[in-house]
Chains A and B, each alone.
Chain A
Amino acid sequence: MKHFDETTIQKYIDNELSSEERNEVEKHLENCQECSKQVENQRVFAENVKKSIEAFVPNEAEIPDFKIAYQPKKTRTLRIVLISSLSTACAILLAFFIIKGFKKEPENYDIYDFITIEEYDANKPMTEQLFTYIENNN
Chain B
Amino acid sequence: MNSEFELTYRSNYQRLLRIAAKMLRDSDAARDVVHDVFMAYYFNSENKKVINDSKNWLIRCTINKGVDFLRKNKKIVSDETAVRQDNTSQNIDNQIDLMSLSNLISKLDGKDQSLVVLYSEGYSYKEIAEITTMNFNSVGKTLSRILEKLRRDYETL
Contacts and interface: CB of A to CB of B under 8 A. Distances in A.
Contacts of A20: none
A75 to B, nearest CB: 18
Interface residues of B, number: 47
| Binding site secondary structure of chain A | helix
Contact of B102 (A52, A64, A71): A52
Contact of A53 (B26, B105, B144, B154): B105
B17 A61 contact: yes
Interface size class of A (residues with CB under 8 A): 20 to 34
A61 B1 CA distance: 23
B21 A50 contact: no
Given A49-B150, A56-B24, 18 more contacts: A7-B141, A10-B140, A10-B147, A16-B124, A41-B151, A49-B119, A50-B120, A57-B21, A57-B22, A63-B10, A63-B13, A66-B6, A66-B9, A66-B35, A66-B42, A68-B42, A69-B39, A71-B39
Interface of B: 1, 5-6, 9-10, 13-14, 17-18, 21-22, 24-27, 30-31, 35, 38-39, 42, 84, 88, 91, 93, 96, 98-99, 101-102, 105, 116-117, 119-120, 124-125, 140-141, 143-145, 147-148, 150-151, 154
